[in-house]
């Protein structure tokens, strides 16, 4: 994968990871944390970070992790979109949607094998 294209995937994953971690931090600081939101954001953040780690190490097998990232990003996006009153959570949903879209390029190889 060429470096410029890899950078685009890393950026998308890191943005989703950052927003998910921010949502987690904000939620655990509240009186009544939304546990499902925390769980979905945590799973998404982990899957995004796994992809980034694999891409940075230039490991050839990244498509399965990208596929898992799509799943977790979409689930996180759906959970975040429930909270229309919270702009920061909706921004997290948007970053997760963007990451999932970018990961389709990489995951396509896994789905075809």
pTM of the model: 0.90
pLDDT digits (tens, 9 = 90+) for 63-87: 999 999 999 999 999 999 999 999 9
Alpha helices in 29-86 (DSSP H): 35-56, 63-80
Check pLDDT > 60 for residue 9. Answer: yes
Token pair for 62 = 């990244």
Confidence of residue 60 (pLDDT cuts 50, 70, 90): confident
In the DSSP assignment, the letter for residue 31 is S
């Amino acid at each position: 994968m060429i470096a410029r294209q890899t950078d685009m995937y890393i950026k998308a994953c890191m943005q989703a990871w950052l927003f998910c971690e921010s949502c987690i931090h904000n939620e655990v600081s509240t009186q009544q944390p939304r546990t499902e939101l925390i769980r979905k954001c945590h799973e998404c953040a982990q899957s995004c970070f796994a992809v980034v780690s694999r891409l940075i190490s230039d490991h050839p097998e990244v498509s399965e992790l990208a596929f898992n990232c799509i799943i977790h990003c979409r689930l996180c996006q759906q959970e975040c979109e429930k909270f229309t009153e919270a702009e920061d959570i909706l921004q997290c949903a948007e970053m997760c949607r963007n990451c999932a879209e970018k990961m389709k390029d990489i995951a396509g190889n896994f789905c075809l094998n």
